[in-house]
Amino acid sequence: YSEQARVLDLFAGTGQVGLRFLDQGALAVTFVEAEGRVVDELRRRLKQSGQSGSCRILQGRLPRALERLQGPY
């Protein structure tokens, strides 16, 4: 993948996949997760990682959440 990649992490859960891409040099990650308490935990993890500025979290169920996405991934 390109270091300028914009990554879409569907069913994000803990965010491990997206965080790994950021560690490897991805430009940005959009996490999509349906469950509110999982989103809260993901926000906490991103804040702890210091990488929250490169991230966006969309809370919602697929495929409807995809309607709110913009840009290429």
Return the number of other C-beta atoms located less than 10 Å from residue 43's C-beta: 15
β-strand partners of 30: 8, 56
Phi, psi dihedral angles at 7 (to 5 degrees): -105, 140
* Contact assessment for residue 24 and residue 2, using Cβ atoms and an 8 Å cutoff: no
* Contact assessment for residue 73 and residue 30, using Cβ atoms and an 8 Å cutoff: yes
This prediction has a pTM of 0.89
- Altogether, the residues listed in the chain come to a count of 73
CA–CA gap between residue 29 and residue 8 (Å, rounded):
6
Tens of pLDDT along the chain (73 residues)?
667 899 999 999 999 999 999 989 899 999 999 999 999 999 999 999 888 888 999 999 999 998 988 877 7
